[in-house]
A and B are shown apart, each in its own frame.
Chain A
Amino acid sequence: MSEQKLPMAGLDGAPPTPPVAKSTSAARLVGTLAVAGAVAGAAIVMVFSWANPLIQANQAARLTGAITEVLGGAARYETVFLDGGAFTKEPQADTATLDRVYVGYDAAGAPHGVAIVTEASGFSDVVRVIFGYDPTSGDLLGMKVLENKETPGLGDKIEKDSMFVGEFADVGTPLVGVKKDRATGAHEEIVMITGATISSRTVVDMINRRMEALREPVSALWASTAVASGGEAPDAARAGATGGGL
């Protein structure tokens, strides 16, 4: 039909219509993307509503595991927030913006220690650690690296070397990082990893800095917690641990 029409149009004297590339209307283009976007969004919402509770549970389990580990066997823990210079369980401000620590209790309900998260720049990226602190003796109970991107085989020993991690159990504060051959056996000493001085020092320094900032409020918190749980301070069980280091 159109093949016959074109030469005829030429005969009429009317200019022949140039062949135009078929273009799609703008409405159709926008419509296609809008429909695709809506369907994609709906599908993602469905998957998200299934996955989100699991993801949250995973994160909570990871935190609980870390707190239990650094507190040396706390049965349960409670989050307390630093609001206006003092720790409180029910702060006035939005909890998302507040600093926090975790108070661990043993099976009998007596306070066991305080787990504190801190972070600082290491050799390659931010190193995040959680450590357990016993305000009664002023000792650390344990340390666990939550996040690090330190050099594999050297700096990442701060997480993987059980010797180094073990140094943080029953050690006085503030910590003193020493090289292997300079260790004197003092209560505050942490023997650093050979070949990973910066990574080791990062961990030691960040714990010291955090303790310096939090020592007062944590002590106040500890006094009130001990009273709240019937004055049963857990130091009776830990009488063997030498104090000092303060």
Chain B
Amino acid sequence: MSKTTPTQDLVSGIWKQNPVFVMLLGLCPTLAVTNSVANAIAMSAATFFVLLGSSVLVSTFKKWIPKEVRIASYIMIIATFVTFADLVLAAVVPDIHKALGAFIALIVVNCMILGRQEAFAAKNTVGRAALDAIGSGIGFSIALLMMGSVREVLGNGTFLGFHVFGPSFAPWVIMILPPGGFFTLGVYLLIFAWWKGRKQTTVHPRRWLHEVTAEAGD
């Protein structure tokens, strides 16, 4: 049913269809818990687990789920995995669980996860759904790490707790406060938009030339 190759399923979510920087999904955790690299990693891991688990289950049971109750069923599957992640984090890494607070429970309403179920897992085979989930999960993790690195390095002068600047560095405290999240995301979106625009302007004439020659050949 899918018109893409398995490699495309895996790769598109990582960069070209990056959930955060291109699709602008899952912005709530992206802004809220990226004030340190450790939090970003924990959030990425939890989201990755929930996304992969839900995609595989939704894809497996797609034939048995009537379309009238599909969203409710997806949410139930997602919520179950989120509860697993919540309990496991609280049991294994209580400090990180405390730092992430309510945002673990809020993975349930992460549009990226429900979006992947509705747009992909519900229409494709289990293998393809898993590949798509892995790709999107990696893309989301990269985005969170990019946010977390910039904010922790500038806002606290550390990376994963290690000092990267000399003792004379005065941390830009605003970067680990909520406004810093918006600034960082804004700058990244600007870079992505600029990069996309540049690619279009350079690619366009060549494609046009190619089409002209193709027509002439006909």
**A-to-B contact residues, CB < 8 Å:** 23-24, 28-29, 32-33, 36-37, 40, 43-44, 47-48, 50-52, 54-55, 58-59, 62, 151-154
Contact = CB atoms under 8 A, between A and B. Distances in A.
Contact of B76 (A24, A36, A50, A154): A36
Interface stretch (B6-14, B21-29, B62-70, B186-194): B62-70
Contacts of A151: 173, 177
A47 B83 contact: yes
A44 B64 CA distance: 22
A163 B68 CA distance: 62
23 contacts: A24-B67, A24-B68, A32-B66, A33-B76, A36-B73, A36-B77, A40-B76, A47-B83, A47-B87, A48-B87, A51-B87, A54-B91, A55-B87, A55-B91, A55-B94, A151-B173, A151-B177, A152-B35, A152-B156, A152-B173, A152-B177, A153-B176, A154-B173
Contacts, number: 64
Interface residues of B, number: 27
- Grouping DSSP codes into helix (H, G, I), strand (E, B) and loop, the A interface class, with mixed when no group exceeds half, is helix
B84 A152 contact: no
A51 B90 contact: yes
Nearest to B86: A51
A194 B156 CA distance: 19
A151 B87 CA distance: 28
Contacts of B72: 33
A59 B94 CA distance: 8
B64 to A, nearest CB: 7
Contacts of A152: 35, 155-156, 173, 176-177
A24 B66 contact: yes
Nearest to A35: B64
B90 A55 contact: yes
A8 to B, nearest CB: 32
Given A32-B65, A58-B90, A151-B173, 14 more contacts: A29-B66, A33-B76, A36-B73, A36-B76, A36-B77, A44-B80, A51-B88, A51-B90, A51-B91, A55-B91, A59-B94, A152-B35, A153-B176, A154-B173
